[in-house]
């Protein structure tokens, strides 16, 4: 069970990397759009500097034809080094995944809405598959069953592919993805922040402090107690 940050915001990554255990950062063109007109390669290098070399960085191609996808992948790796190339699972995408994997590139197969997409990406050798949890729910597909299916297929095939669940509206979807076999979930750090800082959690911690202070005095910490 691992978390990745689904954002390209440098402030968020810097702030939340000090709080939450995380395995990497994922991005896509829609996430990049939120940052405005940035210097793309410099921005990605800045993310790498924050997260270090031991965490994974996943960057998505833009083109929709196999040949152009491959050329974009080459350029991304040339400019950014050891990254995972995110490729949507279309027919053109599957062609590109096969070629790139044969040449030793790291691949995250993304934009997965169905079992057959994930199955084909597993067979093509993708390192990660990214099923879209909330988006599947929105079109009437049960994402828990899809993720469980992928977990079973990966086990039966003794595949090294990891399930990187994505597209979450609430934290229950995240935990459900883990319960059904996801290895990773890529989550906007704001969703983690809002979940950990829910009012009932804050109220409980405040009550513990109030009870302590009622005995030992206002703002008296454990460090101030005499042995």
Q: Which residues are catalytic?
A: 86
Helix (H, G, I), strand (E, B) or coil at 75: helix
- CA angle 88-114-29, nearest 5°? 25
Distances, alpha carbon 135 to alpha carbons 62, 92, 168, 203, in Å: 20, 22, 8, 33
pTM for this structure? 0.94
**Over its length of 227 residues, how does the chain's per-residue pLDDT go in tens digits?**
999 999 999 999 999 999 999 999 999 999 999 999 999 999 999 999 999 999 999 999 999 999 999 999 999 999 999 999 999 999 999 999 999 999 999 999 999 999 999 999 999 999 999 999 999 999 999 999 999 999 999 999 999 999 999 999 999 999 999 999 999 999 999 999 999 999 999 999 999 999 999 999 998 899 989 88
Nearest to 106 by CA among 186, 26, 30, 3: 26
DSSP string, 127-189: SEEEEBHHHHHHTT--HHHHHHHHHHHHHHHT---EEEEB--SSHHHHHHHHHTT-SEEEE-H
Nearest to 145 by CA among 103, 189, 180: 180
Work out the end-to-end distance of the chain between its first and last CA atoms, rounded to an integer number of angstroms: 41
Greatest CA separation found in the chain? 72
């Amino acid at each position: 069970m691992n978390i990745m940050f689904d954002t390209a915001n440098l402030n968020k990554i810097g702030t939340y990397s000090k709080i939450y255990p995380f395995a990497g950062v994922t991005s896509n063109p829609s996430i990049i759009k939120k940052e405005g007109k940035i210097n793309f390669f410099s921005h990605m290098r800045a993310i790498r500097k924050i997260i270090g070399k031991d965490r994974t960085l996943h960057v998505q191609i833009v083109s929709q034809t196999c040949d152009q996808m491959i050329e974009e992948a080459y350029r991304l790796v040339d400019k950014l080094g050891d990254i995972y190339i995110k490729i949507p699972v279309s027919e053109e995408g599957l062609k590109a995944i096969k070629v790139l994997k044969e040449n030793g590139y790291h691949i995250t197969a993304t934009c997965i809405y169905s079992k057959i997409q994930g199955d084909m990406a597993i067979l093509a050798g993708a390192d990660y598959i990214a099923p879209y949890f909330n988006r599947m729910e929105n079109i009437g597909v049960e994402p828990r069953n899809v993720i469980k299916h992928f977990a079973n297929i990966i086990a039966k095939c003794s595949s090294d592919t990891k399930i990187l669940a994505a597209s979450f509206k609430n934290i229950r979807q995240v935990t459900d993805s883990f319960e059904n076999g996801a290895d990773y979930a890529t989550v906007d750090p704001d969703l983690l922040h809002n979940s950990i800082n829910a009012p009932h959690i804050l109220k409980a911690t405040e009550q513990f402090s109030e009870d302590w202070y009622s005995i030992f005095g206002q703002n008296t910490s454990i460090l101030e107690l005499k042995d």
